[in-house]
Every structure is written in C-alpha cells, then in structure tokens.
C-alpha cells in the first residue's frame, strides 16, 4: 500500500477504514516481525487508537482485536502442524533411502552372480551372498539362473512396511487437520479480519504443504513399486473438509484493503 493512500485514509477516511489500516499494520508486523515494513508510525497508531470515540467504533475495533487474537492462535497451531508434516515427509525420505539401498545392494549382488555362469561357481557365490545378508532369498525360475530377491517375510522388510504405513497414516492425519485450520483462518480473514498479510501467510503455507505432499506422493510411488505396496497419500487440494464446513464464504477477496 503506497504512502499517499495511507495519508489519505488518515486525513479523510472513516473510523472503520482507519481501524482496518491499523489492523493491516499490525498484521504486517505479526507476519514479518520487521518494523521497517510497517505501514504506520507510532504516532499514527496512537492517533487512530485515540480516535475511537463512539460505541460502534469501539465495538468494531474490539471485534477485530478479538479476531486478531483468534487468528494468531490458530495460525500458531498451523505453523506447528506444517512443521510436523515436513518432519513426516523427511522420515519418509529416510525409508526411501533404506528401500533404495536394498534395491541397489540386490542389483549389485545379481550383477556379480552373472560373473559366475558355471552352476557350481554360481551356487557358491549365491550361498556367500545370502550368508552376508539376511534380507534376501533365492529366486529361481525354471530355465534361468538363480538370483536373489528380497525376502518379504524377513523382520527388517516387515519393519519397513510398518514404519512406512505409520508415517503415511500420520501424514494424512496432520494434513487433514491443517486443511481444516487453514479453512478457519481463511474464514477469519474474509469475514472478521479482512487483512491481506494474514491471508498471504496462509496461502504461502498452503503452497508449502501442497509441494511437500507432492514430494511425499512421489516417494510413496517409488516405495509402492519396489515393495509391491498400495499405499496412498491424498494431494492437498483433494483433501475433503468435514460436511459441516463450507468454503463458499472464503472465495471473495473484495473485502481486502489493498492488493
């Protein structure tokens, strides 16, 4: 918002416009913690506050102040929840590395086995490979030389499955909760506290969550292919809100003070 418009509101604007300007100034500080980006000086903020005279203006200010507290409360929960989502995504990456390592190890073993075409030599090399790693077993298709494959019943293989399933379940729960919180925050910034800095913060966090989930989906696709799983992570935009929530009230941005 340009300084000329701010000065015009301070001189000629209604008390509601000045209160909204005050709240935008507060929202900028709460989202950036940068005093250099604030719209108003300390003196201008004091003038606006002291200009609250009528019961209607005081009530309007107090309602926005209450909404501001509500936004900050839910916004703090959303920030924490997003960090948990990112944490679960990183835990999933570790599982991808584990699965990828096993695949690489398996492929190296099989490539080395091909260096022993004679049956006796290959059997000795195969026995040595199985002795060095418990997660593999022999796979021998009629008409072909034997190879090693991962033993699905092995405890380490089962542990990977349990760990991945647990991570995916936690990721789904956290992102569903985050979308509900974001919905509430958007309602506040549309109906009760129409200030753009808060709405922008929610949108940026949603984009981080959206991108993080897409990375997690890619990792799950890899794990599903390698371990023959059928796990699924729902993309952020496809997460359904509870039936008692409606997004109709948060699509119109006309209430924002400035672009």
In SS3 terms, the chain reads as CCHHHHHHHHHHCCHHHHHHHHHHHHHHHHHHCCHHHCCCCHHHHHHHHHCCCCHHHHHHHHHHHHHHHHHHHHHHHHHHHHHHHHHHHHHHHHHHHHHHHHHHHHHHHHHHHCCCCCHHHHHHHHHHHHHHCCCEEEECCCCCCCEEEECCCCHHHHHHHHHHHHHHHHHHHHHHHHHHHHHHHHHHHHHHCCCHHHHHHHHHHHHHHHHHHHHHHHHHHHHHHHHCCCCCCCCHHHCCCCCCCCCHHHCCCCCCCCC
Matching residue, tokens 């009629």: 142
As a whole number, the mean pLDDT across the chain is: 86
**Which of 45-59, 132-146, 209-223, 224-238 is predicted with the least confidence, judged by mean pLDDT?**
132-146
Domain ranges for the chain: 1-53, 70-259
As a whole-number percent, the residues of the chain with pLDDT over 90 amount to: 58
Which tens digit of pLDDT belongs to each residue from 121-133?
A: 777 777 777 776 7
Q: Report how far residue 31's alpha carbon sits from residue 26's, in angstroms, rounded to the nearest whole number.
A: 9
Q: How far is CA 21 from CA 18, 221, 251, in A?
A: 5, 48, 22
pLDDT above 50: residue 106? yes
pLDDT at 42: 93
pTM confidence score: 0.79
Q: Is 118 left (phi over 0), alpha (psi -120 to 50) or beta?
A: beta
pLDDT above 90: residue 70? yes
pLDDT at 1: 62
Rounded to whole angstroms, the maximal C-alpha distance in the chain is 98
pLDDT at 258: 39
As a whole-number percent, the residues of the chain with pLDDT over 70 amount to: 93
Angle at alpha carbon of residue 93, lines to 91 and 95, rounded to 5°: 75
Q: What are phi and psi of 95, to 5 degrees?
A: -65, -35
Residue with the larger pLDDT of the pair 156 and 27: 27
Task: Mention every residue, 6+ apart, whose C-beta is less than 8 A from residue 16.
Answer: 57, 60
Instruction: Report, as an integer, the average pLDDT of 79-105.
Output: 91
Beta bridge partners of 136: 150
Q: What are phi and psi of 40, to 5 degrees?
A: -120, 155
């Amino acid at each position: 918002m340009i300084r000329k418009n701010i000065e015009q509101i301070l001189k000629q604007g209604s008390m509601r416009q000045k209160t909204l300007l005050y709240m935008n100034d507060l929202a900028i500080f709460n989202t950036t913690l940068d005093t250099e980006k604030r719209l108003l000086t300390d003196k201008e903020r004091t003038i606006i506050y002291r200009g609250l005279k009528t019961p209607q203006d005081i009530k309007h200010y107090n309602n926005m102040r209450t909404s501001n507290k509500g936004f900050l409360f839910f916004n703090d929960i959303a920030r924490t929840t997003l960090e948990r989502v990112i944490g679960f995504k990183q835990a999933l990456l570790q599982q991808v590395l584990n699965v990828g390592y096993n695949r690489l190890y398996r492929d190296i073993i099989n490539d080395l086995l091909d260096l022993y075409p004679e049956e006796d030599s290959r059997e000795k090399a195969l026995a040595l490979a199985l002795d060095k790693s418990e997660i593999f077993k022999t796979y021998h298709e009629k008409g072909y030389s034997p190879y090693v494959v991962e033993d699905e019943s092995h405890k380490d293989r089962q542990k990977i499955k349990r760990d991945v399933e647990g991570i995916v379940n936690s990721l789904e729960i956290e992102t569903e909760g985050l979308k509900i919180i974001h919905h509430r925050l958007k309602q506040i910034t549309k109906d009760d506290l129409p200030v753009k800095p808060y709405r922008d913060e929610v949108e940026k966090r949603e984009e981080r969550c959206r991108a993080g989930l897409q990375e997690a989906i890619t990792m799950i696709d890899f794990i599903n292919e390698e371990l023959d799983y059928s796990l699924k992570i729902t993309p952020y935009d496809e997460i359904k809100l509870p039936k008692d929530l409606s997004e109709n009230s948060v699509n119109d941005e006309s209430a924002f003070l400035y672009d």
